Amino acid sequence: MKKKIIYIVLAIVIVLIIGFGVYFLLNGKEKQKENGKVVNENIINELEKEENIANFNFETKSVKLNSGYEMPLNGLGTYSLTGDTCYNAVSSALKSGVRLIDTAYMYGNEEEIGESIRDSGIPREEIFVITKLYPSQFDNPKEAIELALKKLDIGYIDMMLLHHPGTNDVSAYKEMEKYVESGKIRSLGLSNWYVEELNDFLPKINIIPALVQNEIHPYYQENDVIPFIQSLGIVVQGWYPFGGRGHTSELLNNETIVKIANNHNVSSAQVILRWNLQKGVVVIPGSSNPDHIKENTDIYGFELTEEEMQEINALDRNEKHDWY
């Protein structure tokens, strides 16, 4: 009788051991599968990011947008440029080989930019023009788009952005989508949209933005935002590459940047612009000085080392210089 009880107990113990073994084996495999899925997703995200950066063609100095169009990697920002100063700056940029011009309704210079482009003698299709609708225009986007087309007077707009989030931004964007269908606007984008704003905005529209334009410079690097945007197949463009008014001198005279510039026999400005390009960020430095414009274009004859890239990355202060 005692032997029978012992056998029964042993049988129960064996069954329990086998049961727990099977459970942990299956559970371990499931966790391994889940972990593998996370790893695979991370790898895919990294590959997408690398693919986006790899789309920067340093021979043609352009990037292919998700809209199918090619956009130059460097251009001229025209914020605060008006009248003859703007006209002359754009003319100088075009003569220096610049083929990307950034403007906006709020800059008040679309007419001068259009005139300079028409007078340049350069075929229209070789010049890429970006303009923006301001939130005050979101209530009547059709009128705003027609106004931009009229002021620029260059046949079509290569890219139109929403200047920053605002009331009715979704409906304004959807109106821009109609103009893409008609061919009057070729690509769409956003300016001053970050992770939270993009997660909220993107599910509500039909045409994924081809570009997001944000403040980016060594003191405000957006190292969390840039990879997120790039992982969506969207090109990143940076404004205020030199830090903006009141900060430019400090940034251009930063010891680390000056040292790297001396290593390559280039200017601090050229180092900052090249750093952006190697991060996969299109640059649109603003200037009305012909020499500076030319210098800001000459950024393809040298390459920063990985160590130099990391040195500049270490300068990040998360220091935003504008309210957008």
pLDDT digits (tens, 9 = 90+) for 106-131: 999 999 999 999 999 999 999 999 99
Indicate whether 171 and 113 sit together in one domain: yes
pLDDT at 319: 82
Confidence band of 40 (pLDDT split at 50, 70, 90): very low
Q: What tokens were used for 30?
A: 């499931």
Give a yes or no: residue 183 inside a domain. Answer: yes
> Does 323 reside within a domain?
no
Q: Which residue has the higher pLDDT, 19 or 125?
A: 125
The residue from 12, 39, 54 where one domain ends is: 54
Comparing 48-52, 102-106, 201-205, 266-270, which segment has the lowest mean pLDDT?
A: 48-52
Instruction: Count CB-CB contacts under 10 A for residue 212.
Output: 24
CA distances from 214 to 46, 56, 63, 69, 244 (A): 21, 18, 18, 21, 13
User: What's residue 29's pLDDT?
Assistant: 39
The predicted pLDDT at position 293 comes to 98
pLDDT band at residue 53, thresholds of 50, 70 and 90? low
- Do 113 and 241 reside in the same domain of the chain? yes
For 302-321, write each residue's pLDDT tens digit.
999 999 999 999 999 998 87
Pairwise CA distance, residues 236 & 284, whole Å: 11
- How many domains does the structure of the chain reveal? 2
- From the list 102, 51, 68, 91, the residue with the least C-alpha distance to 239 is 102
Q: Point out the domain boundary residue: 54, 74, 99.
A: 54
- Do residue 206 and residue 260 come from a single domain? yes
Top pLDDT among 31 and 140 is at 140
Question: What are the structure tokens assigned to 84, written together?
Answer: 């003859």
Using 50, 70 and 90 to split pLDDT, how confident is the model at 27? low
Q: Which domain holds residue 171?
A: 59-313
pLDDT band for 255, please (50, 70, 90 cuts).
Answer: very high
| Average predicted confidence (pLDDT) for the chain | 88
CATH of the domain at 235: 3.20.20.100
More confidently predicted of 70 and 21: 70
**Which pTM was predicted?**
0.83
pLDDT (0 to 100) of residue 220: 96
Residue 115 and residue 255 share a domain: yes
Q: Is residue 247 included in any domain, yes or no?
A: yes
Given a cut of 50, is residue 50 above it in pLDDT? no
Please report the pLDDT score of residue 245 as a whole number.
80
Are residues 169 and 148 part of one domain? yes
Q: Which residue has the higher pLDDT, 138 or 18?
A: 138
Contact present, 234 and 210 (Cβ < 8 Å)? yes
Whether residues 117 and 185 fall in one domain: yes
> Can you tell me the mean pLDDT for 257-279?
98
Say yes or no to pLDDT of 19 above 90. no
| Identity of residue 238 | G
So what's the pLDDT on residue 24?
43
Q: Is residue 319 included in any domain, yes or no?
A: no
Both 153 and 15 in one domain: the answer is no
* 88 lies in the same domain as 184: yes
pLDDT at 83 over 90: yes
Q: Can you give the pLDDT at residue 16?
A: 52
Could you tell me if residue 320 is inside a domain? no
Chain segment 133-173, per-residue pLDDT in tens: 999 999 999 999 999 999 999 999 999 999 999 999 999 99
- Look at residue 33 and tell me whether its pLDDT is greater than 90: no
Average of per-residue pLDDT across 228-245: 94
Q: Does 11 share its domain with 102?
A: no
- Give yes or no: residues 92 and 42 share one domain: no
Task: Tell me the catalytic residues.
Answer: 107
For 188-231, write each residue's pLDDT tens digit. Answer: 999 999 999 999 999 999 999 999 999 999 999 999 999 999 99
CA nearest to 285, candidates 275, 277, 273, 274: 273
pLDDT at residue 18 tops 90: no
